[in-house]
Amino acid sequence: MSKILITGATGFVGQALCRRLRKAGHTLSGASRNKSLRAGPENIPLYYVPADQANADWTHAVTGADAVVHLAARVHVMKDDAADPLAAFRQSNRDATLALANAAAEAGVKRFVFLSSIKVNGEATADTPFSEADAPAPEDDYGVSKWEAEQGLNELVKTSDMEIVTLRAPLVYGPAVKGNFLSLLRACANSRPLPLGGINNRRSLLYVGNLVSAIEAVLDHPGPVSGTYLMSDGDDLSTPALARGIGDALGKPSKVFGFPVGLLRIAATCLGKSAAIDRLTGSLQVDSGKFRETFAWKPPYTVADGLQATADWYQNED
């Protein structure tokens, strides 16, 4: 079994990953910016890393580790109060990632797994899903910072013996999910009428249980496996189908009704929500075939399984 350092261990994905890897018998540790927090999920020990992770000394955290899974990030936010959002994203997502990766390489870590984002590819697809062959085209600060981190990692892998695997994920959902998915979940739970029936799109999602299964497959693979891989559940849904699926999982059929998409866009623009309506109405599909073939992996959970687990969590928390 391996010794694995997980950054972001106390987060949404991190907690699920700790549970899975602990069950598999791996020895885990985590990193935290909270100096008073001594233990993480599954009671794993936590190394304190200052908030300025780009200039932090990661030596104590990576020493003795066989692998590092880097989940910690400054995530995409709708209302950013940073004076210079791009600089803030770069510091957390690019500079801290590269500082950690360099420290891991110097410490002899064998494998480094970086959770990136499909936003590196772009915000929407037309006729074909995104694949690893597509030229990166990030459109926001978050996507730019992730792409710049990837470029730095691609250079590092050329000069070190450490294997580096980058996973670009679409929207990740599951128990303890936040953001827009939680908002849709709440709307369905409250039986709110949803004017989504006229939307004809397809969007890839990734259930957290499938993501942590994929990360485990990367850690366990005999290698070499360095490279960039796109991830998804493999069953893309339209926005109205997603709402109906959530409603079914909650036991409350969703009140989805038809409404002209053009009028939705006009209303959203007037309210300053054009980006949100683009995500609701546009398509974003991911081809995860390369990952499945390389790692002989297929998602252990269906979308229905993921939605049910998420709905059960929400109802128990409510």
Does 62 map to a domain?
yes
Q: How many domains does the chain have?
A: 1
Q: How far apart are the first and last CA of the chain?
A: 38
Those residues with Cβ within 8 angstroms of residue 272's Cβ, 6 or more apart along the chain or in another chain: none
Residue 170: is it exposed, middle or buried by C-beta count within 10 angstroms (0-12/13-18/19+)? Answer: buried
Residue 38 binned pLDDT confidence (cut-offs 50, 70, 90): confident
Residue 15 binned pLDDT confidence (cut-offs 50, 70, 90): very high
Does 162 map to a domain?
yes
Which residue, 190, 174, 231, 159, is CA-closest to 318?
Answer: 190
Q: What is the pLDDT of residue 35?
A: 74
Whether 52 has a pLDDT exceeding 90, the answer reads: no
Does 238 map to a domain?
no
Mean pLDDT over the full length of the chain: 92
Does 98 map to a domain?
yes
Write the Ramachandran bin of 109: left for phi over 0, alpha for psi from -120 to 50, otherwise beta: beta
Tell me the pLDDT tens digit for each residue of 194-244. Answer: 998 989 999 999 999 999 999 999 999 998 899 999 999 999 999 999 999
Does 215 map to a domain?
yes
Does 105 map to a domain?
yes
Q: What is the pLDDT of residue 318?
A: 66
Give the mean model confidence (pLDDT) for residues 43-72.
87
Q: What is the pLDDT of residue 49?
A: 81
Does 271 map to a domain?
no
Check residues 224 and 309 and name the one with the higher pLDDT.
Answer: 309
Active site members = 142
Cβ–Cβ < 8 Å for 117, 130: no
Whether 78 has a pLDDT exceeding 60, the answer reads: no
CATH of the domain at 43: 3.40.50.720
Residue 24 binned pLDDT confidence (cut-offs 50, 70, 90): very high
Check residues 139 and 55 and name the one with the higher pLDDT.
Answer: 139
Range list of H helices, the chain: 12-23, 59-62, 85-89, 96-106, 141-159, 179-189, 208-220, 239-250, 261-270, 274-281, 289-294, 303-317
Domain extent for 41: 3-176+205-233+285-300
Cβ–Cβ < 8 Å for 281, 242: no
Does 189 map to a domain?
no
